[in-house]
């Protein structure tokens, strides 16, 4: 009986300790911003492996999601004779919700897991320790560029996703199903607001990018330095990031779009 309570207590203390460690870790790596000259090439390299290499999956899924939205929306709207509203539906869905959320989920699977595995392996092979030995701060050299790269690429990817998705919706709606192109764009422009919809979508993707990269690099840095440890950390990254994205999305939507 006492052991039962003990295990609950131990688990609670453990999770609070992990939360605290990740906070300290985040603060240390963000404060340790490398100088512009030495840090910039590192950032470019990470932007390439986090951002550019995620482009293909983001563009392809954006295109298909936009096309599916176009098809589904058309089938429902055509019953009410208002299939011109398809542009508005596709654009609002993508810009407000699916753009940031799906990109963040893809980002966690594509870039986040890679980050965790990379950093976990660095830790397992004691590269991080040897860096400390020769006086290079691994937080500054390894973690900070990756954090910033994730923070920068995520909104860019989300915007690209939305645009490609809208084009996909237009491909299905206008070119295949024959909705008039003028009313497709006009309805969209009349209902999508730059300040309320586009900017809030970008804010969402900034938050998601921040959370996903933070979880990914922290799980890598905090992993048990064995092969099982790395695989567990990679799984945790994807699971925690996805849950955090979906949960935060609800909170952000409640704050942003309900008080209109």
Partner 1 sequence: MYKRTIEIVVGLFIMLGIGALAVLAFQVSGLTTNAAADTYKIYAQFDDLGGLTKRGKVSMAGVTIGRVSNVELDKESYTALVEMELYRSVDNLTTDSTASIQTAGLLGEKYISISVGADEEYLKEGDTIFDTQSALNIEKLIGTFASGK
Q: What is the contact surface with partner 1 in residues (CB under 8 A)?
A: 41, 44-45, 47-48, 51-52, 55, 80-82, 91, 95, 153, 155-157, 159-160, 162-163, 166, 185, 188-194, 197-198, 202
Are 234 and 136 in contact by the 8 Å Cβ rule? The answer is no
Minimal distance, residue 72 CB to partner 1, in Å: 19
What own/partner pairs with CB < 8 Å and gap ≥ 24 does 153-156 have?
153/47, 153/50, 153/51, 153/54, 153/107, 153/111, 153/209, 154/103, 154/104, 154/107, 154/205, 154/206, 154/208, 154/209, 154/210, 154/212, 154/213, 155/202, 155/205, 155/206, 155/209, 156/51
Q: Which is nearer to partner 1, 41 or 247 (CB)?
A: 41
Q: Which is nearer to partner 1, 69 or 128 (CB)?
A: 69
- Of the candidates 257, 105, 83, the residue with the CA atom closest to the CA atom of residue 169: 83
Minimal distance, residue 108 CB to partner 1, in Å: 19
Q: Which is nearer to partner 1, 163 or 232 (CB)?
A: 163
Q: Which is nearer to partner 1, 48 or 176 (CB)?
A: 48
Minimal distance, residue 186 CB to partner 1, in Å: 8
Which residues are CB-neighbours of 117 under 8 A, at least 6 positions away? Answer: 220, 230, 233, 234
Minimal distance, residue 15 CB to partner 1, in Å: 36
Minimal distance, residue 162 CB to partner 1, in Å: 6
Q: Which is nearer to partner 1, 161 or 240 (CB)?
A: 161
Which residues are CB-neighbours of 39 under 8 A, at least 6 positions away? Answer: 33, 144, 145
Q: Which is nearer to partner 1, 126 or 181 (CB)?
A: 181
Please state, in angstroms and rounded to a whole number, the distance separating the CA atoms of residues 20 and 207.
20
Please state, in angstroms and rounded to a whole number, the distance separating the CA atoms of residues 225 and 163.
41
Minimal distance, residue 13 CB to partner 1, in Å: 42
């Amino acid at each position: 009986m006492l052991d039962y309570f003990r295990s609950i207590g131990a688990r609670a203390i453990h999770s609070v300790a992990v939360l605290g460690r990740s906070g300290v870790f985040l603060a240390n790596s963000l404060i340790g911003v490398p100088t512009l000259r030495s840090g910039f090439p590192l950032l470019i390299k990470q932007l390439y492996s986090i951002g550019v290499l995620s482009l293909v999956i983001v563009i392809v899924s954006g295109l298909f999601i936009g096309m599916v939205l176009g098809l589904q929306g058309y089938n429902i709207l055509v019953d009410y004779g208002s299939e011109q509203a398809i542009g508005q539906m596709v654009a609002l869905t993508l810009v407000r919700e699916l753009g940031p959320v799906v990109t963040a989920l893809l980002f966690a699977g594509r870039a986040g897991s890679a980050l965790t595995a990379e950093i976990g392996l660095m830790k397992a092979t004691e590269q991080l320790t040897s860096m400390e030995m020769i006086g290079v701060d691994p937080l500054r050299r390894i973690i900070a560029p990756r954090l910033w790269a994730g923070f920068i690429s995520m909104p860019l990817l989300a915007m690209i996703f939305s645009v490609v998705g809208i084009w996909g919706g237009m491909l299905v709606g206008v070119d295949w199903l024959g909705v008039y192109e003028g009313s497709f764009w006009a309805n969209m422009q009349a209902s999508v607001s730059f300040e309320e919809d586009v900017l809030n979508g970008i804010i969402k993707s900034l938050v998601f990018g921040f959370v996903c990269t933070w979880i990914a690099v922290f799980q890598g840095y905090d992993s048990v330095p064995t092969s099982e440890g790395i695989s567990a950390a990679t799984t945790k990254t994807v699971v925690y990031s996805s849950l955090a994205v979906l949960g935060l999305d609800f909170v952000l939507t409640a704050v942003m779009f309900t008080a209109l």
